[in-house]
A and B are shown apart, each in its own frame.
Chain A
Amino acid sequence: MSIRQAMLAILEQGPMYGYQLRAEFEQRTGETWPLNIGQVYTTLTRLERDGLVEVVGHGGADETDQADTSSDRQVSYRATEAGRSEVSEWFATPVPRSQPPRDELAIKLAIAVTLPGVDVGTIIQRQRSATMASLQDYTRLKRTGRAATPTEPADLAWSLVLDALVFDAEAEVRWLDHCEARLRRAAADATEVRRQAPAATTAEEAAR
């Protein structure tokens, strides 16, 4: 899972507490994929179990978050040699696309077009408005937030994450437009076929 490798890669910079690690992660990615602190420590514990990070003891880093003062959470971690090679491996390996992430919208439309009595056009329009609204939000953040004029590498990183969200949303809107156009064409063809029922085969030929 990428959060694990991302945390490990950030730890290469030097020892950190869990809270710092989370802050560094969110500095680069905004709150697009929020990490809860429990998740951060669970991941650190597993990384330690697997020999990829080690505890460097208490103190050393300037932890300012007083929300949690229990001693086991004041521990800082650093990447081990094995951890470093896992990070290099991660950067060297393309993210696989062979297993497409589950796409709820594609699944929803795929089911909807096969069921009688579902208004696919309305589903598409509602989705397009919702996706467009997100696209407007991302664009607003891009032109007004710290991503607008990035001065630090972490700001540039956040601006690139926003670009990824923008391109993703744009692709979804384009796909919805495409679905709408194809469904309209299919509906028109179906009407045509019904009208020329005796010559159905010819109409199908013509539609191609």
Chain B
Amino acid sequence: MNAVLHLAAVSRIHGEGATEVHALRSVTFRAHPGELVAVMGPSGSGKSTLLTLAGGLDAPTSGSVWIEGTDLASLDNAGRARIRRTSVGYVFQDFNLIPALTAAENVALPRELDGEKARIARRLALTALEEVGIADLADRFPDEMSGGQQQRVAIARAIVGERRLILADEPTGALDTDTGEEILRLLRTRCDAGAAGVMVTHEARHAAWADRVVFLRDGVVVDETGSDEPEALLADEASR
């Protein structure tokens, strides 16, 4: 199966000489359609750098980043911006909604920036909001919504227009346990429907929603758990 996201031997060095920091050291990483991958590691392990490179917001010092078969280095700035709007959706810990826009306008924005007519962009936005269960809040402003509702809007914005790569940076970080689980359920559902998801988290309980968990230490992938079937102990229950 072709990976939606492929990082090939990617390194990223910040600074030079005595002050240089190796944020990532020759990391190879793939996310396939239908797969949710969690990236875990302490701060400074390189997990945020990985996500930034995956979204084309930063370029690697060496190695290459491929999104849906396109090498990001082969694109100019406009090309990368287009990929970010059409293929990649971001979800941030602090939601990053535009306060002056309603939920529907926030979600429609990337489509409008991509040249979609306002009416069509709004219709796509409403569909996305419905998918995350808050169609009724379409005309509310961010400060009129709870944290969980705002994060749903952010997810709707990340998936609007059938984008197939969702990058989430501590998406549950600012939410209570139950609300956090609802957000994970949404990401999970989206990946089950065919998107590839990459989620950075430091919470094991949240990472456990992923098919694969990748552990980063000092810019290196030190281990990962597979997506094997439940152990024999629990296999009967799973098949019931």
Please say whether chains A and B are actual partners in one complex: yes
Q: Does B145 contact A (CB under 8 A)?
A: no
Evaluate contact between B42 and A177: CB separation under 8 angstroms: yes
Q: Shortest distance in angstroms between A6's beta carbon and chain B's nearest beta carbon?
A: 18
Q: Determine, out of A60-68, A124-132, A200-208, the stretch whose residues face the partner at the interface.
A: A124-132
- Produce 1/0 per residue, B152-163, CB < 8 A to A: 000000000000
Interface size on A, residues (CB 8 A): 32
Evaluate contact between B234 and A133: CB separation under 8 angstroms: no
Tell me which residues from 165 to 190 in chain A have a Cβ below 8 Å from any Cβ of chain B. Answer: 166-167, 169-170, 173-174, 177, 181
Q: Which residues of B contact A (CB under 8 A)?
A: 40, 42, 185, 188, 203-205, 207-211, 213, 215, 222-228, 230-231, 233-234, 236-238, 240
Q: Which of A31, A34, A133, A146 has the most CB of B within 10 A?
A: A133
B203: A residues at CB distance < 8 A: 170
Partner of A30, one of B225, B226, B237: B237
Evaluate contact between B233 and A125: CB separation under 8 angstroms: no
Q: Determine, out of A8-16, A42-50, A101-109, A137-145, the stretch whose residues face the partner at the interface.
A: A137-145
B213: A residues at CB distance < 8 A: 129, 132, 136
Evaluate contact between B225 and A137: CB separation under 8 angstroms: no
What does DSSP make chain B's interface, helix, strand, loop or mixed? Answer: mixed
Bound Cα distance A135, B185 (Å) = 16
Q: Knowing A30-B237, A145-B237 are in contact, say whether A136-B225 is a contact too (CB < 8 A).
A: yes
Q: A31-B234, A143-B188, A170-B203 are in contact. List 10 more A-B contacts (CB 8 A).
A: A125-B223, A129-B224, A134-B231, A136-B211, A136-B225, A137-B234, A140-B238, A141-B230, A145-B240, A170-B204
What does DSSP make chain A's interface, helix, strand, loop or mixed? Answer: helix
Q: Which residues of A contact B (CB under 8 A)?
A: 30-32, 34, 125-126, 128-129, 131-141, 143-146, 158, 166-167, 169-170, 173-174, 177, 181
